[in-house]
Chains A and B, each alone.
Chain A
C-alpha cells in the first residue's frame, strides 16, 4: 500500500510511491543496480491500483513498451542506471520526436561502461541532456533528498503530461539508497496534470498543429481520430515530410516548446546567495555536502552561497545569471570529471573565475573538502 503521513522511506521506494500517486499505471523495466528497488516496488504496488508491471527482455524493449503504453493513453515510466540509460537513448529520442509523455528514472552509478554498480556518481549529467542523437527537447530534474525524490517524481509526470515530452529524474546512488523521514502527502493532495486529449472535428484534426502554447493535443487510440505517429520528421498532419519550410517549422516548435514553458520547468534552490562572493553549484548528494560547507564558510566570515539546480536541463539560466552577477568566483562541485562545469563556464564567461571540485573515486564529496576549496578561493581574494 502507498504510505501516507510521516514515514521512513528509501529514495527508490519514495520514487515508486510518488509515481503511483502521480497516476502512473504502467511500468516496464529491466533489472539494474542501483535502481532495481523501483521496479520491485512497482511490481508489488501497481497491480493494487489496476496498473500493469512488466519486466521486459532488455532496456531497449522496456523503453519501447513504456512509450507504447503512453501512446495508448496511460501514464508510464521506467527506471534504470547508466548502462541501461545508454540503451534507452534510442527510444528516448523517439519519445522526444513524437512527443510522448513518459518518465525515466536514472539512478547514477560509477562509469563509464559497467563501472561500479554499487557506487555513487554523477556521470550522466551530459548523457541525460545529449544522450540521444539530433537536436531534441528534454527535461531533467535532479532531486537531492528522499523527500525531493517524491516531489520531483510527481512533478516529472506533471511536466511530461503538460509538455508532451520525456522527463528524466536523475539522482545518484547515495540519494537513491538513502533512508530519510518523509512527510508523504495524502493521495488526494497530489496533483499531476493530464495531457490534453484531441478535441474538435475528426475529419480536419491535425495531430501536430500548434494550438498556441507549442504543445499539440494528443490522440488516444479508440477515440476515432485514427492518426499516424512516426519518428520520421513529420508535418502537422503527422505524416513524413521533407519540405524544408515544414521541417524547419516543426523542428523549431519542438525545440522551442520548453522555452515557452520555463515558468513551470525552472526550479532551483539558493542558499545565502544574496551577498555571496563565492557561489557553489552542485546537484544531488554533492549539493547537500555543499550546503553544509557554505554554512561553515559563513561562520568563518566568508561570503559563500549555494546555487542548486533542481531542474538541471534546461538549465535555469536566468536565475543563475542573477545569482552570479555579484560574485567573483563559482565553485562547481560534482561527482564526475567535470560536466556541469562546462555549462557553468559557458554562463559565467569571462566575468568571473570558475573553479572545479571533482570526485571520480566512487565516493561522495564531503563538506570538509568543499569548505577547503571555498577557503582556498577566499585566500585568493574571492570573498
Chain B
C-alpha cells in the first residue's frame, strides 16, 4: 500500500517549485520531514486550498513557505496561538502547525501546554534538531546533556525536555514521535495525527548537520541519520514519563492517544446551542 502510495506521490505537486532550490543546509533533516508531511497530505487527499500551514520562527518556520497551500509564517513561539484563532474561525480548514524545539518548547511552551489541554483540532509537528540553527547554533530545550553549542561552550548542563511526555501530560489527545530515518513510518504517523480529531502533537527527530553536527563532531549527514537508529526503540507504546530522553532511548510511534471531546465541536455544541436556545427563548 505504501508502495502504491509512493508511486503516485509526486512531491512537486505540493511544492511551490518556483521557490526551489530551498535554503536549508545540505544534510538538514527538515526536507525529509517536509516530504513526509506532504506525502501524508497526499495520502489523505487533502485539498491544497483547504490546507493552512502555520509556522513559527527558526529553521522549521521557514519550511512552510515551500508548501503550495495557505501558508502563514508568524511570530516566534506563537504559531499555536495563531492557529487556534484560525481553526476556531474557520473549522473548514485543515490547520497544521510546523514548529521547532526552541519555538515550541521555550518561547512557545505556554501555548503548547494549553493547546494540548484545550484539544482543538490542530496538528502540531515539532521538528526537533536540538539546536537554534537559524541564529547560529545556541542551546535549545532539547539539546542533550554535555553537547557543545555556541552558548554551552563547556557542554550543556541542562537536562533536555521530553516534548512528548509534556504533551501527553498536558492532555494532547494524540502524541507521537517519528524520525527522519524512517520516512514511511513518519509519513504514516503524520497521516494518523492529521486524521485524529483533536489536538495532535508529533515530534519529528531531525538532524542539524551543518551546525550541531559539526560542533559536536557527529560525522557526516548519513552518519548522523544512522545514529538515530542506534538510539531509538521503535514502536513502543509504554508510559514515557520519567524516562530519560535522548541519547539513551527514543521511543517512536504513537505514544499517547485518547478520545477526549474536540474543543471546536464541544464549543459549538454547548455554547452555540445554549445561546441559540436563549435567543429562541
Contact = CB atoms under 8 A, between A and B. Distances in A.
B272 A65 contact: no
Contacts of A223: 49
Contacts of B111: 57, 61, 64
Interface in B60-83: 64-65, 68-75, 78, 80-83
Interface stretch (B38-46, B86-94, B98-106): B86-94
A71 B75 contact: no
Contacts of A221: 49-50, 52, 70, 86, 90, 93
Nearest to A64: B81
Interface in A67-84: 67-74, 76
A65 B88 contact: yes
B19 A48 contact: no
Given A226-B48, A231-B75, A239-B65, A76 B93 contact: no
Interface residues of B, number: 43
Interface string B135-153: 0000000000000000000
Interface in A38-53: 47-48, 50, 52-53
A231 to B, nearest CB: 6
B75 A222 contact: no
B84 A230 contact: no
Interface residues of A, number: 46
A64 B82 contact: yes
B74 A48 contact: no
Contacts of B50: 221-222
Given A57-B111, A226-B69, A72 B78 contact: no
A226 B75 CA distance: 20
B75 A56 contact: no
A63 B84 CA distance: 11
A56 B118 CA distance: 10
Contacts of A66: 85
Contact of B114 (A57, A67, A74, A91): A57
B279 interface: yes
Contacts of B93: 72, 221-222
Interface of B: 16, 19, 48-50, 52, 54, 64-65, 68-75, 78, 80-90, 92-93, 110-111, 113-114, 267, 271-272, 274-276, 278-279
